[in-house]
Structure 1
Amino acid sequence: MDKLVKEVRILKVYAVSLTVVCILFFILAFKMQSSHEKFKEIDVERINIVEKDGTLKMVISNKERQHPGMANHKEMKPREREAGMIFFNSLGDECGGLVYDGNEKGSGMVYSVDQRSTDQVMQLQYSEGTGSDKKRVYGLKLWDRPDDFPLEAVMKFDDSLKKLNDPVASKKAYAKLREEGKFGSERFFAGKTSNGDVGVFIRDTKGKVRLRLYVDKNNQTHIENLDENGNPVK
């Protein structure tokens, strides 16, 4: 009888202990789900921002670990990119970013907005060299991009030409596609050029400057209307 009483007491202690552990476990789990960590300072080489399903939406990274980019859910081949932020849409495409750097050779920063399934169509950019090549350029630039030649097609085209290993044929193929507008064309720049002109420069669909409105480095004003060959139109 004494043995039975002792065993009952042990079972009671075990049941109470197990109940307390379970309660603490649920409290801790709830606390972890309902709160977030707070840091005063953190050193990290790369941060991936993802949705609940794991879809990548943004990468904040140093130069060494920077994301190479994506097109149609496919990661591009490794390439050198500066530190900054790269944005991705829900289709699995890179859709813009902010990169920057500055060293003994020069300085620069670019904020890009990409057209759907292809390259940038708008950039805020700044670049500056050093020493004898201290040319400073900054402003807003716009491009036109075709809908029928997405970035994935550009990558396949580039890979096929590299396999040919024929520089002459590659140059001709690029020139042909460029003439057809497959790589897009610059249409607009508002800012400061490398020779010190500040103004607006508008190009036609082939990327040729047709209108210049600017003030030069000597504070002289200019309004220039040009034909497709770059000659002034009266």
Structure 2
Amino acid sequence: MMEKLIKEVRILKIYAVSLTVSCALFFFFGFKNQYSSQRFEEIDVERINIVEKDGTLKMVISNKKRQHPGMFNNKSLKPREREAGMIFFNELGDECGGLVYGADKDGSGMVYSVDQRNTDQIMQLQYMEGTGDKKKRTYGLKLWDRPDDFPIEEIIKFEDSLKKLNDPVASKKAYAKLRQEGKLTRERFFAGKTADGDVGLFIKDTNGKIRLKVYVDKNNETHIEKLDESGKVIQ
């Protein structure tokens, strides 16, 4: 009987030691995997969502098919086609810029955008190129002015209402009214190469009319031109 008890105690000791070691290894590797980074030599993925610890979306890296439609006030926009690339989101749940690119039989391009708060882009570093008869290349830095009282949600409602009307005349009048109220986007600045082959600075006034050109044309001729509101060169 004594030998049997000794044998059973020995088995229990071995079991206890084994269980203790197993638990230690479990907790060690469990915490290690939780707090350590993983390394992959190669990974294929259609979309990656970068989020904060609380789940707040900060960036999406995606192919064209799964690209995020955009978001404002923590509300995603209606599904729409967008090019592959990266879309950035701020702490308010607004899209605030991105990098997209694409190409097809008609042309190719790449654009890095910075968005104004509560609305669309005000700065872009862009490259565009057509093909065939439209093979013209333009690239550079472009700036816009956007009103503060016409946020992206109002823009979307306005455009959706015009689509429902399906009336080109009414649409033209509606845009003219917005232009008169100063609610339309105005291009103000371009530095780069135009489709005509001119390289330089092109500055517009608050009405979107070009007022100053400093450039070198495709024939290597230099130009400094000041223009009036009608577009005529001031001598």
Offset from partner CA, 1:165-194 (integer Å, 9 cap, x none): 433322211221133231321000011111
- Aligned residue type for 1:103: D
SS in 1 for 2:179: helix
Q: Which moved more, 1:44-53 or 1:28-37?
A: 28-37
User: Which residue of the partner structure matches residue 78 of structure 1?
Assistant: 79
1:197 aligns with 2:198: yes
CA distance in 1, matches of 2:230, 2:56: 48
User: Which residue of the partner structure matches residue 131 of structure 2?
Assistant: 130
Query: Could you list the runs of 5+ residues in structure 1 that have no partner in the other structure?
Result: none
1:107 aligns with 2:143: no
CA distance in 1, matches of 2:125, 2:206: 21
User: Which residue of the partner structure matches residue 221 of structure 1?
Assistant: 222
CA distance in 2, matches of 1:180, 1:204: 16
State the aligned residue count: 234
Q: CA deviation at 1:80?
A: 1.2
1:22 aligns with 2:23: yes
Q: CA deviation at 1:18?
A: 3.0
Q: CA deviation at 1:9?
A: 5.7
CA distance in 2, matches of 1:106, 1:217: 22
User: Which residue of the partner structure matches residue 38 of structure 1?
Assistant: 39
Give the superposed CA RMSD.
2.0
1:146 aligns with 2:147: yes
- Contact 1:136–1:194 under 8 Å retained in 2: yes
Q: Which moved more, 1:5-14 or 1:201-210?
A: 5-14
User: Which residue of the partner structure matches residue 234 of structure 2?
Assistant: 233
Offset from partner CA, 1:138-184 (integer Å, 9 cap, x none): 11100011111111221122223333443332221122113323132
Q: CA deviation at 1:63?
A: 0.8
User: Which residue of the partner structure matches residue 67 of structure 1?
Assistant: 68
CA distance in 2, matches of 1:81, 1:226: 38
Q: CA deviation at 1:14?
A: 4.4
Q: 1:185 to 1:3 in 2, by over 3 A?
A: farther
Equivalences for 1:150-165 in 2 at 5 Å? 150-165=151-166
Q: CA deviation at 1:46?
A: 0.8
CA distance in 2, matches of 1:2, 1:69: 77
Q: CA deviation at 1:4?
A: 8.8
Offset from partner CA, 1:120-154 (integer Å, 9 cap, x none): 11111111111111011111100011111111221
Q: CA deviation at 1:89?
A: 0.7
Query: Could you list the runs of 5+ residues in structure 2 that have no partner in the other structure?
Result: none
CA distance in 1, matches of 2:169, 2:141: 34
Q: CA deviation at 1:91?
A: 0.7
Normalising by structure 1, we get a TM-score of: 0.92
CA distance in 1, matches of 2:218, 2:180: 34
- Contact 1:72–1:152 under 8 Å retained in 2: no
Offset from partner CA, 1:184-225 (integer Å, 9 cap, x none): 210000111111111111101111111111121122222221
- Aligned residue type for 1:32: N
Normalising by structure 2, we get a TM-score of: 0.91
Q: CA deviation at 1:83?
A: 0.9
Q: CA deviation at 1:41?
A: 1.0
SS in 2 for 1:18: helix
Percent identity, aligned pairs only, is 76
CA distance in 2, matches of 1:158, 1:3: 91
Offset from partner CA, 1:57-107 (integer Å, 9 cap, x none): 111111111111111111111111111111111111111111112333211
